[in-house]
């Protein structure tokens, strides 16, 4: 990349769509992008890739973008990292935004570094905050080491300055159908990828995934496996709720990985997090510390979890949970 920094202007955000559904995480980043664009006094551009997406290309405008640049091609109908990397790399070389944000979905966390390497530029993963410094650099704020510290990172000389952010870190901006903007359809020449999709097996969504739940009932080693049903019963007492767990239960094959909260599992930010039989190890706290309210139930009065809770009950869950369920039924 021989272009100099000065040639890059504007904030770009990748709007990920799957089968015509725009990912909320991308819209959340669009909201942040809007703030950054306003601070810098530059345009906010949404970039979209897909097939037969004309129906949704105006959406980013309603959520705050000044313009949308998209590629509509059969080769892009389902996400493919080689194709999407090539498309984005070309678009970014053409439109040269100084900042390019990608939502940290599974695809995003793979696509973004791929594009960054292609463009030989800097990228920061899983940001929880952004700012602009006095030199108009993007300040990328992220929590390494299990979230006990915050690192402030800049990309002083390379462009675009790239970053990803996980879903639900930023709020979804309001949708304003009154907004207007430019929509540009681009053509890109595509190489045949060496990687192709054979099959996509959609997961049966029996339950709300924990990262989308408003209330999480989380279980730990302190529970006997024959008592897990108590957690599910308690879960039913709340709306928009899901059962999660700590790592040891997944390691022992007692619960699926999709339910693991923690450093090597998922980071969740529900409104209410009820931790049952969880000691409060650092790696677990890392995954749920941003919950709005935390309730802890544990037999051991010295369990670490009580330091991270708003309300705690020291007692045997086998007594507490059934009584709590009763109390909740009565309370309505």
Partner 1 sequence: MLNMVVGIKWVPDTADVRFDPVRGTLIREGVESIINPPDLNAIELALSLKEKYGGRVYVISMAPPAALKGLKMAVAMGADKAILLTDRRFAGADTLATSYALAAAIKKVGSYDIVIFGEETIDSATGHIGPEVGEMLGVPHVSYVKSVLNVDVASRVVELEREVEDGVEVLRSKLPVVISVGVGINSPRYPIPIRRLRAEVEADKYVETWSADTVGADSNRIGLQGSPTRVVKIIAAPMIERRREVHQHSREALSLLVRRLKEWEVL
Partner 2 sequence: MAVQREHLFMVPGWDVSLHYVLMALALALTLYGVYRRFSMYGVKLIDLPSTLRGRLGLALRSEARLLRERYGGLMHTLMVAGLIALFVGTILVGLEHDLLMKVGQRILVGDAYLAFEFALDLAGLLFVVGVLMAIVRRVFFKPDRLENRGEDVAILLLLLYGGLSGFVMEGLRLASPAFSHQPWITASFVGYAFSRALLGLSVEDVYPYVWASHSLAMAIAIPLLVYSKLRHFPLFFLCPTYSLRELKAPFNLDEVLRGRKLDFKVGLESLDALSWGLRLSLDACVKCGRCQDACPAYRANKVLSPREVVRRLGGLMMAGGRGEAGSALREEEVWSCTTCGECVVTCPIFLNPMRYIIEARRHLVTNLGRVPTTALFNVMIMGNPYGLPRSEKRSWMKGLNVDYAKEGEEVEVLLWIGCAGAYDARAQRVVKALTSLLARLNVKFAVLGEEECCGELARRLGDEVLFQEVVKRNAELFKKYSFKALVTLCPHCYNSFKNDYPEFGVRLNVKSHVELMHELAASGRIKVGRALDAVVVYHDPCYLRNYNDVSSEPRGVLRAISGLKLVEAAKHFCCGGGGGGSWIEAEGVRMNVQRLEDLLEAKPDMIATACPYCIGMFEDALKSKGLEGKLEVKDVCEVLASALG
Contacts to partner 1 from residues 130-149, by CB under 8 A:
139-140, 143-149
Residues 209-238 close enough to bind partner 2 by CB under 8 A:
222, 224
Beta strand pairing call for 272-276 and 215-219 = parallel
**Cα distance between residue 205 and residue 208, in whole Å:** 7
Residues 279-308 close enough to bind partner 1 by CB under 8 A:
281-283, 289-290, 292-296, 301, 306-308
Q: Which is nearer to partner 2, 96 or 221 (CB)?
A: 221
Chain centre to alpha carbon of residue 111? 14
Residue 279 lies near partner 2 (rule: CB under 8 A): yes
Window contacting partner 1 (CB under 8 A); options: 41-49, 122-130, 170-178, 217-225: 122-130
Q: Residue 7: which residues within 8 A CB-CB, separation 6 or more?
A: 96, 159
Residue 223's nearest CA partner among 322, 298, 282 is 298
Question: Which tokens sit at 227?
Answer: 């008592």
Least distance from partner 2 to the Cβ atom of residue 307, Å: 9
Residue 193 lies near partner 1 (rule: CB under 8 A): yes
Residue 299 lies near partner 2 (rule: CB under 8 A): yes
Among 24, 82, 90, 304, binds partner 1 (CB under 8 A): 82
Residue 85 lies near partner 1 (rule: CB under 8 A): yes
**Cα distance between residue 332 and residue 328, in whole Å:** 7
Exposed/middle/buried for residue 74 (C-beta within 10 Å: 0-12, 13-18, 19+): exposed
Least distance from partner 1 to the Cβ atom of residue 171, Å: 17
Bridge partners of residue 124, in order along the sequence: 163
Q: Which residues bind to partner 2, rule: CB under 8 A? A: 222, 224, 279, 281-283, 299-300, 302, 304
């Amino acid at each position: 990349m021989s272009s100099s920094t000065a040639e890059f202007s504007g904030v770009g955000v990748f709007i990920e769509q799957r089968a015509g559904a725009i990912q909320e995480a991308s819209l959340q980043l669009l909201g942040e992008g809007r703030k950054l664009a306003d601070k810098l006094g530059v345009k906010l551009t949404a970039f979209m890739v897909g097939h037969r997406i004309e129906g949704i290309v105006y959406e980013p405008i309603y959520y705050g973008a000044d313009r949308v640049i998209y590629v509509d091609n059969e080769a892009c109908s389902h996400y493919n990292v080689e194709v999407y990397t090539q498309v984005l790399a070309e678009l970014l070389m053409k439109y040269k935004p100084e900042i390019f944000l990608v939502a940290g979905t599974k695809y995003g966390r793979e696509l973004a570094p791929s594009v960054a390497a292609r463009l030989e530029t800097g990228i920061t993963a899983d940001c929880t905050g952004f700012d602009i410094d006095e030199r108009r650099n993007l300040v990328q704020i992220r929590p390494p080491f299990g979230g006990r510290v915050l690192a402030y990172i800049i990309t002083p000389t390379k462009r675009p300055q790239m970053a990803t952010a996980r879903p639900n870190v930023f709020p979804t901006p309001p949708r304003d159908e009154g907004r207007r903007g430019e929509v540009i359809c681009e053509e890109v020449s595509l190489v045949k990828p060496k990687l192709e999709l054979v099959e996509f097996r959609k997961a049966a969504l029996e339950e709300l995934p924990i990262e989308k739940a408003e209330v999480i009932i989380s279980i730990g080693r302190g529970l006997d496996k024959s008592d897990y049903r108590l957690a599910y019963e308690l879960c039913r007492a709340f709306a928009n709720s899901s059962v999660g767990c700590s790592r040891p239960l997944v390691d022992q094959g007692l619960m699926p990985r999709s339910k693991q909260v923690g450093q090597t599992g998922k980071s969740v930010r529900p409104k209410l997090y009820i931790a049952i039989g969880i000691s409060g190890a650092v790696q677990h706290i890392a995954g749920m510390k941003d919950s709005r309210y935390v309730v802890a139930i544990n037999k051991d009065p010295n369990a670490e979890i009580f330091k991270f809770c708003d309300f705690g009950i020291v007692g045997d869950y086998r007594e507490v949970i059934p009584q709590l369920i009763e109390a909740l039924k009565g309370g309505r």
